[in-house]
């Protein structure tokens, strides 16, 4: 069941009397309990999309349904209640600098009218889970960046939200803290069942935690679907990436020098990535296989690999036919 459904969303900003579109007909569907990554280069409209999802940014047109409710047609009062079901973790954390960590975390429930003592008790529980218990009496300026971020996450979780939105959660963190925060996000998602939307320009974040990816380019959604589908298309369409194009040029050169006759790119996903498929498919055939490039990565739902191979021999065609039934995606390049 989808928790969030975005249709034909257009957002425009006006500057110096001119209107320009930041988001152009964006469609997005986020499954209940999943982790969705919104990716794209800087200026593609990722953060604007995130801000539009709880109407911090009003769209010019389109429809946003959260949990079946059209949020653009609700009253201010209903919108306030709705926003309490959506936690936001901003890129700059935006903590209240004149409140202690405990008060910061407790704030969202205090404004709901929960009495202070109970609210602070609940803040304590969450602080315990996020290893912030020793920091409850401190002020934000006394915390490190990583701690400030965890306070901001604790503050978003205290209301037991249905969904949390994270804006570039790893851009200011070192690799160690990045891993830690990604583990935390996964745990929040699996233990608390919270649907997560992460805005990031870092593809490794997408690979490690996201079930789905929405890729934005100049305000347009160019891909929205499962992460492994995105990356298999990505690896197959060379134009995306200088590195891949360079690989292919090298491979073609090797192919020309060594007299192979077919250049093939294979994409594996899940269990198949661990099997000796090349060996299995070439058994008993007159074919030689030369591996030119290979890579395997750990995705959220298992290993994901890509291979660039050259084949020759009179049974090449039969070999490729067998291969195509055993890999996730295959493309014959020459």
Partner 1 sequence: MISELTRATLESLYMIFASGLLSILLGMPLGIILYTCAGSKRLASVYRVMDVSVNIFRSVPFIILILLLIPVTRRVTGTIIGPNAAIFNLTVAAVPFFGRLTENALNTLPRGVSDSAQAMGVTYRQFVFMVLVPETLPDHILNASVLLINLVTYTAIAGAVGAGGLGQLAINYGYYRFQWNVVLYSVIILVLISQGIQLLGTSLSRMLRK
- Considering beta carbons, is residue 79 or 272 the nearer one to partner 1? 79
Least Å from the CB of residue 258 to partner 1: 58
Element (H, E) at 302: strand 302-312
For residue 63, how far is the Cα from the chain centroid? 22
Give 107 or 328: the residue with its C-beta nearer to partner 1: 107
Nearest approach, Cβ of 81 to partner 1 (angstroms)?
7
Identify which of residues 79 and 312 has a Cβ nearer to partner 1 in the complex. 79
When the beta carbons of 140 and 305 are compared against partner 1, the nearer one is 140
What are residue 86's phi and psi, to 5 degrees? -125, 110
Distance in Å, CB of 154 to partner 1, minimum: 13
- Is the Cβ of residue 149 or residue 306 nearer to partner 1 in the bound state? 149
Q: Both tokens of residue 225?
A: 């679907």
Between 145 and 270, name the residue whose CB sits nearer to partner 1: 145
Rounded CA separation 192/162 (Å) = 9
Instruction: Evaluate whether 292 touches 325 at the Cβ level (below 8 Å).
Output: no
Cβ contacts of 277-282, under 8 Å, gap ≥ 24: 277/323, 277/326, 277/327, 278/307, 278/309, 278/323, 280/326, 281/319, 281/322, 281/323, 281/326, 282/319
Least separation, in Å, of the C-beta of 274 and partner 1? 43
Least Å from the CB of residue 92 to partner 1? 5
Pairing of strands 69-70, 61-66: antiparallel
Q: Smallest distance, Å, CB 155 to partner 1?
A: 8
Contact at 8 Å (CB) between 251 and 292?
Answer: yes
Cβ closer to partner 1: 140 or 260? Answer: 140
CB of 146 to partner 1, least distance (A): 18
How far is Cα 319 from Cα 283, in angstroms, rounded to an integer? 9
Give the footprint of partner 1 on this chain (CB under 8 A). 51, 54, 56, 79-84, 86, 88, 90, 92, 94-99, 107-108, 110-111, 139-141, 155, 159
User: Which residue, 6, 72, 80, 85, is CA-closest to 45?
Assistant: 6
- Describe the strand order of the beta sheet including 220-226 as a list of residue ranges: 86-89, 163-167, 195-199, 35-39, 212-217, 220-226
């Amino acid at each position: 069941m989808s928790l969030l459904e975005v249709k034909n969303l257009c957002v425009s900003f006006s500057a110096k009397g001119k209107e320009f579109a930041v988001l152009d007909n964006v469609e997005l569907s986020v499954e209940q309990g999943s982790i969705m990554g919104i990716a794209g280069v800087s200026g593609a409209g990722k953060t604007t999309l995130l801000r539009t999802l709880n109407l911090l940014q009003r769209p010019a047109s389109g429809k946003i349904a959260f949990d079946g409710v059209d949020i653009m047609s609700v009253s201010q009062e209903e919108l306030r209640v709705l926003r309490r079901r959506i936690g936001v973790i901003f890129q700059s954390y935006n903590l209240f600098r004149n409140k202690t960590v405990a008060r910061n975390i407790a704030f969202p429930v205090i404004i709901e009218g929960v009495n202070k003592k109970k609210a602070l008790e609940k803040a304590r529980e969450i602080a315990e889970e996020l290893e912030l218990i020793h920091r409850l009496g401190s002020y934000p300026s006394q915390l490190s960046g990583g701690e400030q971020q965890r306070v901001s996450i604790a503050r978003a979780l205290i209301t037991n939200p249905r969904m949390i939105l994270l804006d570039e959660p790893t851009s200011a963190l070192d690799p160690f803290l990045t891993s830690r925060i990604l583990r935390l996000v996964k745990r929040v998602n699996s233990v608390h069942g919270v649907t997560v939307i992460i805005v990031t320009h870092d593809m490794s974040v997408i690979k490690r935690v996201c079930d789905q990816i929405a890729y934005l380019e100049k305000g347009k959604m160019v891909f929205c679907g499962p992460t492994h589908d995105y990356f298999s298309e990505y690896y197959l369409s060379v134009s995306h990436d200088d590195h891949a194009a360079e690989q292919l040029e090298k491979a073609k050169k090797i192919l020309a020098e060594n007299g192979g006759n077919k250049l093939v790119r294979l994409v594996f996903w899940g269990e198949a990535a661990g099997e000796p498929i090349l060996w299995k498919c070439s058994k008993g055939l007159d074919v030689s296989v030369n591996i030119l490039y290979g890579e395997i990565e750990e995705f959220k739902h298992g290993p994901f690999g890509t291979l660039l191979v050259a084949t020759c021999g009179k049974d090449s065609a039969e070999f490729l036919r067998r291969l195509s039934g055993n890999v996730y995606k295959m493309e014959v390049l020459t």
